[in-house]
Structure 1
């Protein structure tokens, strides 16, 4: 039977590569993005998140086999908090009822190896507490210095998202309902989001100082899409609460002997 999947961020980058890969395998994919998608919504807003659920219900008939929460931003602005954390969590929680109708439901979200970088502890705490208004306010403060503490907005959003996956995946709503929930943590991927960061050899070299990728360097979106597709497949029966780094070795270099 053909599987039906929902992919947010489907218009570009990792989301687009994932959508195309799944479709090449015969799956039906409902793409979600700001534009050029089956569902065009803004996941930084509460209205956009509600509309996402309503439209998925309409297009899927209430049955979804896999959810891929890929949409995200890497800018030192409050919107990054809104979409990376609250948008992703709302996507997974909002679409979970449709997964319950599947014979082999799966859920996966894109975090980042940036979750291993320094974070703003106050922002992470507010995200973990689910206080979106206060988290946005804290991000607004950090964003006033984009070249320094502003960069902590992205890493903080991804650290909190990875923690959410670790805490929620073994719980009743996910593992208890036979839904494997996991995350991937990409390194530097060639996408519109990173285009400026790697626009010259000098910029790429500087970025690789922060994000070392000894295995084959900067990656293409397909490198992540392949793993996402497996995590969302019926083959994945027991992987639970894992954050798998697709980062060319960054995690191994940065954390060394440390393990989750």
Structure 2
């Protein structure tokens, strides 16, 4: 029998975060939601103050111990804030709450990359992410945004590649695997949210989307699909997945990369 657990879920007010929060609560768990508004902790994770407030309030609300962290909050807009929240905000969440995880008997952590991590990226921005240089990353993101939305999209794809790479580097370390904390990521394909509703509403839109992002298995997914995977990854049942980036994308990764991962 699974015991009740305490979770922190960022991005909890909408999309995958909301679906995850609802699933966890339906199973009897305690969930501390984090988002810009409409949840337990309302902060801006693009800012140092917002990140510090999130850690302080999560510590207070949890009594100093959490069993799992789901760092889901993110943006896809071609703006510098996307770099701030998708990479630095996610890492600040995971690292900032790690001391609370260390007090759990079965700590777990997961975050959300994207199939967009396979899309074209910007080398200079990626280097800034990997170096942990947030001012440089934000400045480079602004340069990309100034070149228009098509170039600006690389802020999103680069941030998701950088986050996936951070998970791969970090998960096997003494601070995570060595402390008994499985750290993993999921990489969703196209998820049916209000943002994509207009695009999938017409046959022409669906055809265009399928050409850009082929998902041969059942096409775009509802938010509940990646949420179910995140819930399992952060459950007591997951004892050995370490540093995995799991593509829940209807086959996009397999179509795009084939056997090249070997």
**TM-score interval, smaller chain:** over 0.9
Q: Runs ≥4 in structure 1, deviation > 4 angstroms? A: none
Q: Which residue of 2 aligns with 1:236?
A: 238
- Counterpart CA distance in 1 for 2:134 and 2:198 is 29
Q: Which residue of 1 aligns with 2:32?
A: 30
Q: Which of residues 141, 151, 172 in structure 2 aligns to 1:170?
A: 172
The answer on 1:100 being equivalent to 2:102 is: yes
- Counterpart CA distance in 1 for 2:46 and 2:82 is 8
Q: Which residue of 1 aligns with 2:4?
A: 2
Count of residue pairs brought into register by the alignment: 260
Given the superposition, is the C-alpha separation of residues 54 and 171 from structure 1 closer, same or farther in structure 2, using an over 3 Å criterion? same
SS in 1 for 2:184: strand
Q: Which residue of 2 aligns with 1:89?
A: 91
Q: Which residue of 2 aligns with 1:219?
A: 221
- Pairing 1:59-78 to 2, within 5 Å after superposition: 59-78=61-80
User: Deviation digits for residues 99-119 of structure 1, max 9, x if unmatched?
Assistant: 000000000001101001110
Given the superposition, is the C-alpha separation of residues 188 and 171 from structure 1 closer, same or farther in structure 2, using an over 3 Å criterion? same
Q: CA deviation at 1:196?
A: 4.9
8 Å contact kept, 1:186–1:247:
yes
Q: Which of residues 144, 155, 158 in structure 2 aligns to 1:156?
A: 158
Q: Which residue of 1 aligns with 2:114?
A: 112
In the alignment, structure 2 segments of 5+ residues that lack a partner are none
Given the superposition, is the C-alpha separation of residues 200 and 82 from structure 1 closer, same or farther in structure 2, using an over 3 Å criterion? farther
User: Deviation digits for residues 73-106 of structure 1, max 9, x if unmatched?
Assistant: 0000000000000000000000000000000000
Q: Which moved more, 1:144-153 or 1:55-64?
A: 144-153
Q: CA deviation at 1:258?
A: 1.6
8 Å contact kept, 1:44–1:79:
yes
C-alpha RMSD of matched pairs (Å): 1.2
Q: Which moved more, 1:144-153 or 1:57-66?
A: 144-153
User: Deviation digits for residues 229-254 of structure 1, max 9, x if unmatched?
Assistant: 00000000000000000000000000
- Counterpart CA distance in 2 for 1:199 and 1:140 is 32
Q: Which residue of 2 aligns with 1:45?
A: 47
- Counterpart CA distance in 1 for 2:81 and 2:194 is 17
> How high is the TM-score relative to the length of structure 2?
0.96
The answer on 1:129 being equivalent to 2:144 is: no
User: Deviation digits for residues 117-145 of structure 1, max 9, x if unmatched?
Assistant: 11001101100100000000000010012
In the alignment, structure 1 segments of 5+ residues that lack a partner are none
- Counterpart CA distance in 2 for 1:209 and 1:18 is 29
> How high is the TM-score relative to the length of structure 1?
0.97
